[in-house]
Structure 1
Amino acid sequence: MWRVGILTASDKGYRGEREDRSGREIATLVTRIGGERIVHEVIPDEWAVIRRTLIRMCDQEQVDLILTTGGTGFAPRDVTPEATRSVIEREVPGIPEAMRLASLEKTKFAVLSRSVAGIRGSTLIINLPGSPKAVRECLEAILDVLPHALEILTERFGDHD
């Protein structure tokens, strides 16, 4: 069972003006890889808050995987990638590349995604877009490789064919 943290960066969601459908979509999809939601938070689009929450989820909650949603676009308050880069120790560029490639088959706007993925300690952090549809498309593009990545990262190896 993988310990999963879900972080929704949304000013409107934080204020209760918008339902967190993207976070719910993530929670549903991670069950397909044996993910168990340990923590799920909706926070404002603020660099310091995102950074502090990511650090706490990694270092104190000790989740194996953090999936963020929101804050990856071009709006001035879209700072999730910058906050993520400030806490990771190693970047994993292939994950967002795969998500963008899969999304590009559906929309030309996929090239505008600024998603980042990286490692802090033994936690993998992946930024996903903010819409439930985009979350589903991006997560489905990488879902089947996540168990292997987490096995290597956490040194909890399963059987490999």
Structure 2
Amino acid sequence: MTQPFPLQRRHPDDLLVGLVSVSDRASSGVYADQGVPALADWLEKALIRPPQVVTRLIPDDRATVAAALRELVDEARCDLVLTTGGTGPARRDVTPEATLDVATRQMPGFGEQMRQVSLAFVPTAILSRQVAVIRELSDHAALIINLPGQPKAIAETLEGLRGDDGRVRVPGIFAAVPYCLDLIGGPYIETHDAVVQAFRPKSARRPAHSGAEAR
């Protein structure tokens, strides 16, 4: 599951996304990876302008994970990199460490909120060690977020929790991603509110869906 790059940014608001699944068994063919397909499907559903995506399926090895993250940010020029897998307490779970290895800034609120959402479902959410960071180059920056390994948990942490009336009770982390990308010089992305409602201060908002029609 390796795709070539560079990706082609055809519009200033094209979002370039790297999706990384970290798993010894999936990368060796013991079973099919579910994390990257789940992430790709979710982004396609959530974003008004479809993203350009490059994927990686790699083993639980700290140096390998760090190298993939650097490649996706520095060479593929991804604006957003989402990882799945390798965030628990087992000895082979090294995704957070590898992510911190490539970071220039940490964004602890993302990990805190993911655990808050997951705790509504399972008490073992406190064992999850997901982190989020920014990697900055002289002319580019990207947000890197570790996500859970299971497709259902991925959607829950991205979207948040809704009550029976459909209103968001616990916000998911993706609500903050578009404005974070704005602040680090990334593309302006918009979401379908029915999936996740992006939050921006009024001063940072463009007219609804300006130039971001689905293609």
TM-score bracket, normalised by the shorter chain, equals over 0.9
Establish whether residue 148 from structure 1 lines up as the match of residue 179 from structure 2: yes
8 Å contact 1:91–1:118 — kept in the other structure? yes
Q: Which structure would you say has the larger RCO, counting Cα contacts within 8 Å and 6 or more residues apart?
A: 1
Change (3 A) 1:49 1:99: same
Q: Point out where structure 2 has 5 or more consecutive residues left out of the alignment.
A: 1-13, 160-171, 190-203, 207-215
Match of 2:132 among 90, 107, 117: 117
1:27 corresponds, among 2, 26, 40, to: 40
**In structure 2, what is the Cα distance between the partners aligned to 1:100 and 1:30?**
21
Indicate which of 16, 41, 54 corresponds to 1:3.
16
- 2:68 pairs with one of 33, 48, 53: 53
Q: Which amino acid aligns with 1:39?
A: V
Letter in 1 for 2:17: V
Matches of 2:91 and 2:27, distance apart in 1: 17
Number of aligned residue pairs: give it: 161
Answer 1 or 2: which has greater helix percent: 1
Query: Partner amino acid for 2:53?
Result: I
* % identical aligned pairs: 40
Q: CA deviation at 1:155?
A: 4.9
The one-letter amino acid of 1:134's match is A
- Displacement, 1:41? 0.9
Which contiguous aligned blocks of 4+ residues in structure 1 show a shift greater than 4 angstroms? 155-159
Within 5 A, what are the aligned runs for 1:57-96?
Answer: 57-96=72-111
Q: CA RMSD in A?
A: 1.6
Normalising by structure 1, we get a TM-score of 0.93
Match in the other structure for 2:26: 13
- The 2-side partners of 1:107 and 1:59 are apart by 36
| Greater C-alpha Rg | 2
Confirm or deny that 1:160 pairs with 2:205: yes
Gaps of 5+ in 1: none
